Amino acid sequence: MADLLFCSHYPFSSAAKAHMAGRGMEIVSSYVEKAEGRVREAIETGKVRKVPSLSDAQEEELALYAIARMIVSCANNRYLINRYAVAEAKKTSDYLSSDASAHPEYVGDVAAEFGMRFEKSGSHFLVPLGSYLPCTPRSTDYKLANREVAAGKVLVSSHERVRMLEEAVKKKIERELPIRAAFPDEVKAAGARVLALLPRLETAVVKVGQENYPPCVRRMIEELSLNVNLPHTARVALGIYLVRAGVATDKIVDIFRGAPDFSENTTRYQVEYLRTKGYSMPSCATMDSYGACIAECRCGTPMNFRADSHGGRLARDAGLADYGAYYASLASGAKEEKK
């Protein structure tokens, strides 16, 4: 049976929820203030502090967690919610690491919270594919092709088990927030103050000239001009890239004109949507998993690609004069492949 210590370490758990429901919660000013501090800290430093092991502090933790969620919900901004979720998840991961030795049963209880079952196998754990896939961080290490997979189960280390649970917590919070409800004015005011913290970094535009478009972006533009039906993921990535590269909506719409199912209104709406949402550019690893990566630029994200540095190296490795020549060779090579 879950105890107060468990609940305070894992305030998102159903045990914590049940505990709170049993006690009832009053929203008092001092709590709202502290909860606002918690959210601020999460946004500014990416961290949420651990709780002292005193039962009063543990009770308080549960209330602060609940109020912090309300504040973030009032602020109602995707970037803020995600950043807050990352900080809460990070704290969970710290607790899981320390609890793994002191209260080993806690880890299994948290996993059960997400319907995940880790089965001990030597010093490692076996986890069903259906639990593994939704909760793995995007990295080559977790790429299924690089894992030991057998009989529908994936082998993970105890560190990876914690990392997966961290991911699960992050996704849970991102999914649950914002909560739509009527909140007290005090909480709303805190939400507004937290929102004001946000730098206006949404859709930061860095002018990128066409000469600096990376191979993947060039390819997508070229394919559209040849009426290739790009998958949705590629279209979104291209849209984000062009928006962030400072290309005007009209020009972006023109680029998409070649899509076989092109609709001017839909495209315009979607480009504007991307612009207001301020999505970040998928990383090269993500582009690769979309099947959209076509060269090893080693630039991390297509946004960072610059013709003189990354393109220059690609050209040198291929023994070509410059990036332009390199891209031309890539394009013709690709066409031959398709035949």
Partner 1 sequence: MSGLVQTPEETFLRKKFSAHYGASPIFVLGLDRREFGFGGWEKKIEFRHIAFRNESELRARLVAEAPLYISHSVAYYEFPDARPMPRKNWLGSDLIFDLDAEAHACGKFTCQECLEGVKADAIKLIEEFLLPDFGFSKSELAVNFSGSRGYHVHVVSDAVYSLDREARREIADYVSGTGLSFERLFWNEGKKFFGPKTGQGGFGGKFARAFVSRLSDDAFALSIARKLKKPEEKEKLKSAIAMGNWDNIGIVNREKKLSEKFDEMKLTMAGRIDANVTADTSKLIRMPDTLHGGSGFAAKRLSSPDAISAFEPMRSAPVFGGAPLKVKATEAVPALNIRDFSFGPIPSGETRELPEACAIYLICKKAAVLA
Instruction: Using the minimum distance from each CB to partner 1, give the nearer residue, 231 or 300.
Output: 231
Rounded least distance, CB 46 to partner 1, Å: 24
Rounded to a whole number of angstroms, the minimum distance from the CB of residue 32 to partner 1 is 35
The token pair at 304 is 């960072």
Half-sphere exposure of 232 (CA within 13 A, CB side): 1
Give least dist CB 145 to partner 1, A.
4
Closest approach of partner 1 to the CB of residue 15, in Å: 24
Q: Tell me the residue type at 287.
A: M
C-alpha distances out from residue 40 to 61, 172, 192, Å: 16, 20, 12
Q: State in Å, rounded, how far the first CA of the chain is from the last one.
A: 63
Q: Which is nearer to partner 1, 207 or 232 (CB)?
A: 232
Nearest-approach distance from CB 176 to partner 1, in angstroms: 17
Q: The tokens 């502290």 sit on which residue? A: 34
Q: Which residues bind partner 1 (CB under 8 A)?
A: 128-130, 133-134, 136, 140, 143-155, 231, 233, 285, 288-291, 339
Task: For CA atoms 291, 296, 302, 308, give the dihedral sign.
Answer: negative
> From the CB of 289, what's the least distance to partner 1, in Å?
6
Q: Residue 254 or residue 288: which is nearer to partner 1 going by CB?
A: 288
Question: What are the b/e assignments for 103-115, b being 16+ CB within 10 Å?
Answer: beebbebbbebbe
Name the residue nearer to partner 1 (CB basis): 145 or 201: 145
Find the DSSP H helices in the chain.
Answer: 4-9, 14-23, 29-45, 55-75, 78-102, 104-113, 129-132, 158-176, 185-197, 215-225, 232-244, 249-256, 264-277, 284-289, 312-317, 323-338
Other CB atoms within 10 A of residue 15 CB: 18
CA atoms in the 13 A half-sphere facing the CB of 119: 9
Contact criterion met (CB below 8 Å) for 320 and 205: no
Q: Toward partner 1, which CB reaches closer, 180 or 338?
A: 338
> Using an 8 Å Cβ cutoff, are 164 and 136 in contact?
yes
Least distance CB 243 / partner 1 (angstroms): 22
Nearer to partner 1, 80 or 293 (CB): 293
Helix (H) or strand (E) holding 50: none
Q: Which is nearer to partner 1, 63 or 271 (CB)?
A: 271
Minimum CB separation of residue 260 from partner 1 in Å reads 11
CB of 154 to partner 1, least distance (A): 8
Q: Which is nearer to partner 1, 140 or 265 (CB)?
A: 140
| Rg of the chain over all Cα atoms, to the nearest angstrom | 24
Q: How many CB atoms lie within 10 A of CB 222?
A: 14
b/e sequence 265-279, b meaning 16+ C-beta within 10 Å? eebeebbeebbeebb
